Amino acid sequence: MSNPSGVPADKLPRHIAVIMDGNGRWARERGLPRIEGHRRGSESVRACTAACMEAGVPYLTLYAFSKENWQRPADEVGALMLLLDRFLAERTAEIMERNIRLRAIGHLGDLPDKARRRLEDTIAKSANNTALTLTLALSYGARTEIVDAAREIAREVKAGTLDPETIDENTIASHLYTAGVPDPDLLVRTSGEMRISNFLLWQISYAEIVVTPKLWPDFAKEDLFAAMQEYARRNRRYGGI
C-alpha cells in the first residue's frame, strides 16, 4: 500500500522540525486578536502530529516558544502559556491513546509553575510511548543550548571525567538538549520568512529546508505531506558530489 504522504517509505524524513510562524498575521488579516491566531495554530499542531503518524515519520519537533518570545507583551505571553496549559490538559489523554512520547527542550524552569508541572507530568506519563516522539521547544534558544552544553562539558573536564583531547562532534551532540534524538532531515518554516531564528543551529547542519508562504494556522496535513514530497525530490549530498 502506498504511503498516505505520497512519499515512498524509504524516502521519508525520519525527523521533521517546524518553525511555526504567522499566527499574528493570520489573526490580523481577519481583524482578530493575535491570541486567536495562536489558538488556531494549536490546531495545526494537532494536524501536523497526525500527518507524521499517518506517514510513519517517527520524530517531530515544534518551535513553540523561543527565549526571545518572552519580550512580547505580557498579555500575549500569558495567553500563550495558558494555551500550552490547556493544550496539555485537553490533549494528554489523546497523546497516551495515540502512543505519542512527549518531550520538551529549552529552559523549562522559565515556564509558569502550572504549565511546567503539567508538561513534566505528560512527559513522564508518555515516556515509554513509541509511535511518535513529539518534542516541543519551549523557552528555547539554540545558542543558549550550545552554551549549556559547553558549560557541562567544561564541568566534566574540570572534574577529571572527560579528557579534552577526546572531545568530538558526538561529545557536543550528546550534551545538547536533543541528545539521543536523530538530527532533523527536514526543516519547515511557514509564513515565508527565510530565517532560522536561533532554532536547532547545531542539529540542522544537513537538514533540507522548505519554506512555505502559508501562515501556520492555515497549515494543514496536506501541506506537511507536500513538504515531505519536496524533501523526497531533493538530492542530499552532505558535501559530496
We find the least distance from the C-beta atom of residue 178 to ligand FPP, in angstroms, to be 17
Question: Which whole-number Å values give the CA distances from 164 to 150, 152, 153, 171, 176, in the listed order?
Answer: 12, 13, 9, 10, 17
Helix (H, G, I), strand (E, B) or coil at 163: coil
Stretch that binds ligand FPP, among 14-22, 141-149, 180-188, 195-203 (CB under 6 A): 14-22
Asked whether 160 and 135 are in contact (CB, 8 A), the reply is: no
Looking at the DSSP bridge assignments, the partners of residue 48 are none
The answer to the question of residue 25 lying near ligand FPP (CB under 6 A) is yes
Position among 3, 12, 13, 42 found at the interface with ligand FPP (CB under 6 A): 42
Neighbours of 233 (CB within 10 A): 9
Looking at the DSSP bridge assignments, the partners of residue 186 are 16, 208
Give me the catalytic one of 69, 129, 183, 198. 69
We find the least distance from the C-beta atom of residue 13 to ligand FPP, in angstroms, to be 20
Position among 12, 18, 20, 119 found at the interface with ligand FPP (CB under 6 A): 20
d(CA 170, CA 179): 9
Q: In the range 115-174, which residues lie near ligand FPP by CB under 6 A?
A: 136
We find the least distance from the C-beta atom of residue 12 to ligand FPP, in angstroms, to be 23
- Annotated catalytic residue 21: yes
Position among 45, 51, 104, 224 found at the interface with ligand FPP (CB under 6 A): 45
Q: Which residues contact 45 (CB under 8 A, 6 or more apart)?
A: 20, 62, 64, 87
The answer to the question of residue 104 lying near ligand FPP (CB under 6 A) is no
DSSP class of 43: H
Residue nearest to ligand FPP (CB): 24
The answer to the question of residue 22 lying near ligand FPP (CB under 6 A) is yes
The residue assigned the cell 577529571 is: 160
* 106: amino acid identity, one letter: G
Give me the catalytic one of 3, 10, 21, 168. 21
Fill in the per-residue mask, 173 to 212: x = in contact with ligand FPP (CB under 6 A), - = not in contact. ----------------------------------------
Helix (H, G, I), strand (E, B) or coil at 140: strand
We find the least distance from the C-beta atom of residue 86 to ligand FPP, in angstroms, to be 8
Q: Which residues contact 237 (CB under 8 A, 6 or more apart)?
A: none
C-alpha cell, 141: 534558544
Give catalytic residues, as residue numbers: 21, 69
The residue ranges that bind ligand FPP (CB under 6 A) are 20-25, 38, 41-42, 45, 64, 69, 83-84, 87, 136, 216
